[in-house]
Amino acid sequence: MNNKEVKILFMGTAEFGIPTLKVLKDNFNLDTIITNYDKPSGRGLKIEFSTVKKFAISNNIKYFQPKNLKDQSLTDKITSINPDIIVVVAFRMIPKSIWQIPKYGTINLHASLLPNYRGSAPINWAIINNEDFTGVTTFFIDDKIDTGDILLQEKIKVDKKINAGELHDKLKVIGASTVKKTIEEILNNSLTQKKQEHDGNYRTAYKLNKENIKIDWNQNCLEIYNKIRGLSPFPGARASLINNNGNVKRVVFYESEYFIEDHNLEKGKIIKEKDFIKITCNNGFIKIKNLKMEGKKRMNTSSFLNGFNIENFRMVK
The answer to whether residue 209 sits within a structural domain is no
Nearest to 61 by CA among 3, 108, 97, 12: 12
The answer to whether residue 147 sits within a structural domain is yes
Q: Are residues 142 and 261 in the same domain?
A: no
In angstroms, the Cα distances linking 100 to 141, 190, 251 are 9, 21, 47
Provide the CATH number for the domain around residue 156: 3.40.50.12230
Provide the CATH number for the domain around residue 252: 3.10.25.10
The answer to whether residue 202 sits within a structural domain is no
Q: What is the pLDDT of residue 197?
A: 87
The answer to whether residue 95 sits within a structural domain is yes
Which helix (H) or strand (E) segment holds residue 118: the answer is strand 118-119
Q: What is the pLDDT of residue 2?
A: 86
End position of a domain, from candidates 135, 162, 187 = 187
DSSP 161-207: T--HHHHHHHHHHHHHHHHHHHHHHHHTT----BPPP-SS---EEPP
Mean pLDDT, consecutive 10-residue segments, the chain of 317 residues? 91 97 98 90 73 97 96 96 97 96 98 97 98 98 95 98 98 98 96 90 95 96 98 97 92 97 94 92 96 94 92 85
Q: What is the pLDDT of residue 111?
A: 98
Q: Are residues 94 and 175 in the same domain?
A: yes
Q: What is the pLDDT of residue 316?
A: 86
In angstroms, the Cα distances linking 3 to 6, 85, 179, 281 are 5, 12, 13, 56
Q: Are residues 117 and 18 in the same domain?
A: yes
Q: Are residues 169 and 43 in the same domain?
A: yes
**What is the residue range of 294's domain?**
221-315
Nearest to 98 by CA among 121, 79, 124, 118: 79
Rounded (10°) angle between helices 51-58 and 18-27: 30
Q: What is the pLDDT of residue 44?
A: 63
The answer to whether residue 199 sits within a structural domain is no
The answer to whether residue 91 sits within a structural domain is yes
Give, as one character, the DSSP assignment of residue 295.
T
Whether the Cβ atoms of residue 93 and residue 106 lie closer than 8 Å to each other:
no
What total number of domains does the chain contain?
A: 2
Backbone angles phi, psi at 34, to 5 degrees: -115, 125
End position of a domain, from candidates 135, 166, 187 = 187
Q: What is the pLDDT of residue 27?
A: 97
Nearest to 81 by CA among 117, 135, 33, 123: 33
The three-class DSSP label of residue 187 is helix
Q: Are residues 58 and 182 in the same domain?
A: yes
